[in-house]
């Protein structure tokens, strides 16, 4: 089977405030997150990106208001705190 005919999609998930969150992209000091549950809609309700600040803590760059509006301030804070506590995923080679 030719793997070049497929697109590999990877996301990392965690749960805070009874809400499943996916990290859909990340770099050394940033992450893009979105809710996993989308109510059958194509577009996500809540998504955003966080970056590490000068103290090495994650801070919302964009999207915090979506998590507050459709979730709660506690949810937005919990996502940030989860990343601060656990760091970003470590990519591994898969064959």
Task: pLDDT tens for the chain, 95 residues: list them.
Answer: 567 788 878 889 999 999 999 999 999 999 999 998 766 665 557 999 999 999 999 999 999 999 999 899 999 999 999 999 999 998 754 54
The total number of structural domains that make up the chain: 1
Q: What is the largest CA-CA distance in the chain?
A: 47
Alpha helix locations (H) across the chain?
64-70, 73-86
Q: What is the pTM of this model?
A: 0.83
* Assigned domain for 49 exists: yes
Question: Which structural domain, as residue segments, surrounds residue 49?
Answer: 11-37+45-86
For 14, 41, 89, the CA distances from 60, given in Å and listed in that order, are 17, 24, 18
* Assigned domain for 57 exists: yes
* Assigned domain for 1 exists: no
* Assigned domain for 93 exists: no
Query: Are the CB atoms for 26 and 18 separated by under 8 Å?
Result: no
* Assigned domain for 4 exists: no
């Amino acid at each position: 089977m030719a793997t070049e005919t497929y697109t590999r999609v990877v996301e990392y998930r965690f749960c805070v405030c009874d809400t499943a969150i996916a990290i859909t992209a990340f770099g050394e000091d940033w992450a893009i997150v979105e809710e996993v549950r989308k109510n059958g809609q194509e577009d996500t309700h809540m998504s955003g990106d966080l970056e590490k600040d000068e103290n090495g803590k994650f801070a919302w760059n964009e999207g915090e208001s979506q998590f507050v509006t459709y979730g709660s301030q506690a949810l937005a804070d919990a996502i940030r705190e989860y990343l601060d506590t656990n760091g970003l995923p470590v990519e591994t080679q898969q064959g």
